[in-house]
Amino acid sequence: MAIDSNFDQNRERAGEENGVAVWGPVEPPEKLGIHGTHVAVDYDICLADGACLENCPVDVFTWVDTPDHPVSEKKVEPTNEDQCIDCMLCVDICPVDAIDVDASRQA
């Protein structure tokens, strides 16, 4: 199941972590929600293979720890989503479709 590309309409904003918006539901450690707005990562399906972080030409992503999450104990945070150039490489290489980039959504 891929990230909901309309999460900003279908989910409530649950707060902020590391300067990044978090969209619920959030019930740690199992449900961590979607992190980011312009560049969004669904933490509930991200398996942390690191392809997006390693291949992003403008270093949008950083690692964050997510202890006891059933899929992986670390995730990629779109910490620098304001630097995104909308190349869509992260969307294209994510093996589980956990990332969505939408130029109409602003961080």
Q: Which residues carry a binding-site annotation for Zn(2+)? A: 35
Q: Does residue 29 have a cis bond before it (omega within 30 degrees)?
A: yes
Q: Which of 89, 79, 88 is nearest to 22 (CA)?
A: 79
Residue ranges of the annotated binding site for [4Fe-4S] cluster are: 56, 84, 87, 90
Residue ranges of the annotated binding site for [3Fe-4S] cluster are: 46, 52, 94
Residue ranges of the annotated binding site are: 35, 46, 52, 56, 84, 87, 90, 94
Q: Does residue 25 have a cis bond before it (omega within 30 degrees)?
A: yes
